[in-house]
Amino acid sequence: MKPLEDILVVDLSQFLSGPSASLKLADLGARVIKIERPEIGDICRTLYVSNVKMNDDSTVFHAINRNKESFVANLKDEEDCSRIKKLIEKADVVIHNFRPGVIDRLGLDYKTVSKLNPKIVYGEISGYGPEGPWKDKPGQDLLLQSLSGLTWLSGNEHDGPVPMGLAIVDIISGAHLVQGILAALVRKSITGKGAKVAVSMLESILDFQFETITTYYADGGQPTVRTNSNNAHAYLGAPYGIYKTKDGYLALAMGQIPVLGELLGCEQLTTYQDINSWFDQRNEIKEVLSEYLATDTSQKWLSILEPADIWCADVMDWERLMKTEAYQVLNMEQEVKMGDGFKFKTTRCPIRIDGEILLSSKGTPGLGEHTKNIELEFNL
Partner 1 sequence: MKPLEGLLVLEFCQYMAGPSAGLRLADLGARVIKIERPIVGEGSRQLAIKNLFVDESSLVFHTINRNKESFAANLKDPEDLKSIKTLLKVADIMTHNFRPGVMEKIGLDYETVSAINPKLVYGVVSGYGNTGPWAKKPGQDLLVQSLSGLSYLSGSANDHPTPMGLAACDMLTGMHLTQGLLAALIRRGKTNTGGLVEVSLLESTLDFQFEVLTTHYNDGGKYPKRAKEGNAHAYLSAPYGIYKTKNGYISMAMTPLTTLVPLLNLELPEAYKSTESWFEKRDDIMDILRSIFITKDTEAWLTILEAADVWCSNVYTYKDILEHDAYKVLRMDQLIKNSDGQVIRTTRCPIRIDDERYYNEKAAPKVGEDTDKIIKEFNL
Using CB under 8 A as the binding rule, the residues of this chain from 108 to 127 that contact partner 1 are none
Binder of partner 1 out of 213, 259, 263, 266 (CB under 8 A)? 213
- Under the binding rule (CB under 8 A), the answer on residue 41 touching partner 1 is no
Q: How far is the CB of 220 from partner 1 (least distance, A)?
A: 11
Residues whose CB is less than 8 angstroms from the CB of residue 327 and which lie 6 or more positions away in sequence, other chains included: 321
Is residue 294 involved in binding partner 1 (CB under 8 A)?
no
By CB under 8 A, residue 97 contacts partner 1: no
The catalytic position among 92, 159, 170, 247 is 170
Contact between 301 and 245 under an 8 Å Cβ cutoff? The reply is yes
**For partner 1, which stretch binds (CB under 8 A), given 59-67, 74-82, 83-91, 365-373?**
59-67
Tell the smallest beta-carbon distance from residue 209 to partner 1 (Å).
Answer: 7
Give the C-alpha separation, 170 to 181, whole Å: 16
Q: Is 170 a catalytic residue?
A: yes
DSSP secondary structure, 67-91, as one string: T-EEEE--TTSHHHHHHHHHHHHH-
By CB under 8 A, residue 65 contacts partner 1:
no
Q: Does 179 bind partner 1 (CB under 8 A)?
A: yes
CA atoms in the 13 A half-sphere facing the CB of 265: 6
Nearest residue (CB) to partner 1, 3 versus 82? 3
Interaction between residue 40 and partner 1 (CB under 8 A): no
- By CB under 8 A, name the one of 40, 102, 183, 294 that touches partner 1: 183
Binding partner 1 (rule: CB under 8 A), the pick from 39, 79, 115, 190 is: 190
Shortest distance in whole angstroms from residue 127 CB to partner 1: 10
CA distances from 197 to 64, 179, 180, 254, 347 (A): 21, 9, 6, 38, 28
C-alpha closest to that of 181 among 41, 66, 20, 42: 20
- Residue 193 neighbours by CB under 8 Å, 6+ apart: 118, 119, 187
Catalytic residue annotation: 170
